[in-house]
Amino acid sequence: MVRFVIGILIWMAIGQNVNAQVVDYTLPTGFENDLSNAEYKTIVDYSIKAVSARFKVDSVQDGTLRLIKMQDTQAFNLHNLIADCLAVKDHSRWEKIVNDHFTKLFTAIDAQEKIDPEDFKDIKKYLTIRIYPKEFLTRRPGWRSFVIQTNMEGTCSLLMLDIPGAGFTPVQRRNFTHWNRDINEIFDIAKANINKQPVQKINQAIGALIQSGDYASSYVLDLDRNSPELNGEWGTVVAIPNKSVAHVYKISKGKAIDLVKYIEHTKPTIDEEFNRHPQQISNQFFWYYKGKFVRINVTAEKSGKINVTPPAALMALTSKK
């Protein structure tokens, strides 16, 4: 069996001083106000110890642990692990959090090695999509080797595998080429898999929520099929502040102006859910129509007044008699 070398860049961790290792304990970009240098050093050192039991660590810089070349896994990112540790005030529990974190990642690596990259019939049932901020993803080592589509401005839709018991793993482009399939076909299969995932749909006084620990944000990529009841004649307003929740508001024919009221009402919640969540996606609003997303221009004045400019295509649609 050909080994499925996925080249995991899993969003979490590393550090320890061993021989040629170069460890930079400078706080990662974006975390300067969240933890102290001593706390970061603790997380890094625990991570290096855990990873060194299996891999040879080369360096740690800006929250990314890089491994010595010629190993199947190339790097781990600390950001999610940092967030997990910060959520627990008792620092004596951090070592266990770090160890549990990497145990799960190693399980994912072992599961990947059992998959044949050329056996598309077997692989396709694991295909899924995770949405990340473009700025976040493009700072990760090796991101150009992944399979990515852009559905919403400022974000990247990343093709992944969701292997039971092993978690999410990015699909590398070199493995994708083995399948000899069109990228749109592959992403459609992933969307169909996502549509089978259990999510909560909660109607609110204005609009609705879609909630799921891992799938709420990517679930909105296929609203036409998975949630026609949430899709209006003139489309839907969508916001995905983080991976676990999506806000949707269907635009009924003749009531497009109501989307302005919805955004004015919802924006403070979107900003809060974006700012307070460790796995942010976007604080923007989008117009979803016939499978496509267009950003809605929303600005806030110092007075607190919110200005909303609907997309030109939506305005043209509403002007038709």
DSSP-assigned beta bridge partners for residue 242: 245, 280
Task: Give the global pTM.
Answer: 0.76
pLDDT of the residue at 19: 47
Tokens of 224: 């036409």
Residue 145 has what DSSP assignment?
G
Write phi, then psi, for 122 (nearest 5 degrees). Answer: -85, -40
With residue 221 as reference, give the H or E element that holds it: none
DSSP-assigned beta bridge partners for residue 168: 162
pLDDT digits over 96-116, tens only?
999 999 998 888 778 777 777
**Interval 73-94 mean pLDDT:** 89
User: For residue 292, what are the contacts with CB-CB under 8 A and spacing of at least 6?
Assistant: none
pLDDT digits over 190-224, tens only?
999 999 999 999 999 889 999 998 899 999 999 99
From CA 278, how far away is CA 271, in angstroms rounded? Answer: 13
From CA 275, how far away is CA 52, in angstroms rounded? Answer: 34
Q: Which residue has the higher pLDDT, 208 or 120?
A: 208
DSSP labels, 68-136: PSSSS--EEE-HHHHHHHHT---GGGHHHHHHHHHHHHHHHHHHHTT--TT-HHHHGGGEEEEEEEHHH
pLDDT digits over 88-101, tens only?
999 999 999 999 99
